[in-house]
């Protein structure tokens, strides 16, 4: 989550007098891939994962949205069907802004569109960098970077090996081997199903 995301969230939240809230339990589906957006989804608190399912049923973990994130922003403003399904990864509370209400906000606050455009451009850059990483980096390095990203950004969430593998664009077996290797080398400590880092900076500096 970038500072621009927080600023846009706060701007919309403070500009809206009475946003509708909706609560979801872990595992609840917020919207399905292919649905047409009818609300802008602001994550007030909780954690949301965006997943894509291929025709063969293969699941891909695309993105994660934490507190003060905006889920489905691109599809909402592009007036296109969602490209993935959003699922609550933990108890989550959303603020829902309808299209009509959002249009009124944009009319009353033209600067909102500039903030949206800026955030979409940033998201595009992140997506391009991630795509390049999937092509250029080894599965081991992608796994290490994913472990660091998910743990540092969402420290209270216990990530499954399957979720880590999908986000890193690799396999469950690769994640298991990588984590076992990091544990043997003393870089991580396993705590039940969770883990903690002993020296993140070393891993960031290490040339895999």
Residues 113 and 178 in one domain: no
**Is it the case that residue 31 has pLDDT exceeding 70?**
yes
Domain that holds residue 86: 3-133
Residues 99 and 166 in one domain: no
Listed residues 133, 159, 174: the one ending a domain: 133
pLDDT (0 to 100) of residue 111: 83
Listed residues 99, 133, 167: the one ending a domain: 133
Nearest to 41 by CA among 19, 17, 14: 19
Q: Which residues contact 28 (CB under 8 A, 6 or more apart)?
A: 87, 88, 92
Listed residues 101, 133, 165: the one ending a domain: 133
Number of independent structural domains in the chain: 2
**Is it the case that residue 175 has pLDDT exceeding 90?**
yes
Residues 92 and 142 in one domain: no
CATH, residue 183: 1.10.10.10
Residues 8 and 102 in one domain: yes
CA pseudo-torsion sign 8, 13, 17, 19:
positive
DSSP type of residue 198: S
What would the two tokens of residue 196 be? 């903690």
pLDDT in tens, 147-167: 988 988 888 899 999 999 988
pLDDT in tens, 91-136: 999 999 898 888 888 888 888 778 788 777 777 776 666 666 666 6
Residues 191 and 157 in one domain: yes
């Amino acid at each position: 989550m970038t500072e621009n995301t927080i600023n846009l969230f706060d701007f919309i939240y403070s500009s809206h007098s009475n946003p509708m809230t909706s609560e979801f339990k872990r595992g609840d589906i917020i919207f399905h891939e292919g649905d047409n957006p009818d609300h802008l989804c602001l994550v007030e608190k909780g954690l949301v994962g965006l997943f894509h399912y291929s025709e063969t049923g293969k699941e891909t973990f695309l993105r994660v949205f934490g507190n003060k994130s905006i889920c489905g922003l691109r599809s909402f403003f592009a007036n296109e069907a969602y490209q993935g399904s959003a699922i609550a990864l933990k108890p989550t509370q959303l603020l829902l802004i309808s299209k009509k209400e959002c249009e009124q906000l944009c009319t009353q606050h033209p600067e909102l569109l500039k903030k949206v455009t800026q955030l979409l451009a940033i998201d595009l850059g992140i997506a391009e960098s991630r795509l390049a990483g999937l092509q250029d980096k080894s599965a081991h390095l992608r796994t290490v970077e994913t472990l660091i990203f998910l743990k540092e950004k969402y420290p209270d969430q216990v990530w499954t090996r399957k979720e880590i593998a999908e986000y890193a664009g690799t396999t469950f077996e690769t994640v298991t081997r990588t984590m076992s290797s990091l544990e043997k080398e003393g870089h991580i400590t396993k705590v039940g199903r969770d883990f903690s880092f002993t020296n993140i900076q070393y891993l960031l500096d290490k040339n895999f």
